Structure formats: structure tokens, C-alpha cells
């Protein structure tokens, strides 16, 4: 367990796990703090960015050497539907998840010679605690009506795609973002 808002917590985790040999890394942490444009502050933006992006980079930078030495690795960042489209009051979240996509594409270029595949999975509306916290029941019903699948996605549907990207079946998919969104972005 570690607190991704705390640089000290991340450092302590890495110190306690310095001999850990990682060849698969999935960053699936995320916070979404809703704010109107006039409510945006540097602290708000930085806290969301710290959990959603900076923590991923800090952790991965410690694990990447093992992957390079072994000439093998799979890295998946969980981005979001909001890295593709946006919605009111989502500036911190959309900005952070879009940044994570940029990080992944750059790393994909840098790490491909080492047989390290770096990708993103962009969930759409998934039935999670965070979705139910940020959306009213009416909003959820309206979203479900707008989705070609007619329902929120299940967490297992996201993990199935992540599992494929981290498996040996994935030999050359890198630098990509795969939307698992029930067809939302087709509209």
C-alpha cells in the first residue's frame, strides 16, 4: 500500500522493494476532482496530476532497468475516455489522462528496441465507485441510453484488454490507446 499523493510514500515503497524484478507494470490509479474553470488552482491540478501521471513515471522509472536488461516488458497505463473527449468540470482529470497518453507514446518509441511494449487502455463509463460518485443516477441512465451497448462497462472488460496487452500474444502493439467504451466514441 502506498499514497500516490506523497513523494515520501513512493520513495519508501521503492526502497522497500528495490530488489523487485518487474516485467509487467500496470498503472491503474486515478483521481477525478471536479471543478469549474474559475475553481481551478495549481494545487488542484497538481494533486490530480501527481496521482494520475507523476506517480506512474516515478514508479516505472525504478522498474524499467530490469525490463531493459531482460529485453522484455509490458507497460499499460489506464487513461480514460476523457483523454479522447471531455466534459464540463473535467479539466484536471482530462489534462492528466491526456498527459499520460503522451508519456506512453514517447516511452513506446524509446523502449521498443528493448522489446518493451507500452500502451494505454481508455475505459469509457465503467460501473465503479468513482463513476457513481461523479454522476447522478439520472446522468448514468442517460449515458447508458447513449451507449451502443446500452450499459456501463464492467471492470472485467477493462482488465481483459489489459491482460491481452500484457500477455505474450502482444508482440508488436505499442504506442496505442485502446478505448473500451461500449462504442461511445463512435458517435
Q: What is the DSSP string of the chain?
A: ---TT-HHHHHHHHHHTTT---SEEEE---------GGG--HHHHHHHHIIIIIHHHHHHHHHHHHHHHHT-EEEEEE--GGGTS--TT-HHHHHHHHHHHHHHHHHHHHHGGGTEEEEEEEE-SB-SHHHHHHS-HHHHHHHHHHSTTSSPBPHHHHHHHHHHHTSTT-SS--S-EEEESTTGGG-
Contact of 184 with 162, CB cutoff 8 Å: no
Torsions phi, psi for 115 (to 5 deg): 60, 40
Contact between residue 180 and residue 123 where contact means Cβ atoms under 8 Å apart: yes
Confirm whether 93 is a catalytic residue: yes
Cell numbers representing residue 168 in the block: 505474450
Catalytic-labelled residue, pool 13, 49, 82, 93:
93
What residues act catalytically?
A: 93
Amino acid at each position: 500500500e502506498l499514497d500516490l499523493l506523497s513523494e515520501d510514500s513512493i520513495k519508501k515503497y521503492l526502497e522497500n522493494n528495490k530488489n523487485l524484478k518487474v516485467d509487467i507494470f500496470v498503472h491503474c490509479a486515478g483521481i477525478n476532482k471536479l471543478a469549474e474553470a474559475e475553481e481551478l488552482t495549481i494545487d488542484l491540478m497538481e494533486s490530480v496530476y501527481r496521482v494520475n501521471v507523476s506517480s506512474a513515471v516515478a514508479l516505472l522509472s525504478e522498474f524499467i532497468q530490469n525490463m531493459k536488461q531482460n529485453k522484455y516488458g509490458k507497460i499499460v497505463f489506464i487513461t480514460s475516455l476523457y483523454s479522447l473527449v471531455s466534459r464540463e468540470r473535467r479539466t484536471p482529470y482530462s489534462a492528466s489522462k491526456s498527459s499520460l497518453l503522451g508519456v506512453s507514446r514517447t516511452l513506446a518509441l524509446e523502449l521498443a528496441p528493448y522489446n518493451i511494449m507500452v500502451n494505454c487502455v481508455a475505459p469509457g463509463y465503467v460501473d465503479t465507485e468513482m463513476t457513481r460518485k461523479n454522476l447522478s443516477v439520472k446522468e448514468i441512465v442517460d449515458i447508458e441510453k447513449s451507449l451502443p451497448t446500452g450499459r456501463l462497462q464492467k471492470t472485467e472488460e477493462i482488465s481483459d484488454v489489459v491482460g491481452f496487452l500484457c500477455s505474450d500474444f502482444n508482440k508488436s502493439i505499442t504506442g496505442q490507446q485502446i478505448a473500451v467504451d461500449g462504442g461511445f466514441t463512435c458517435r
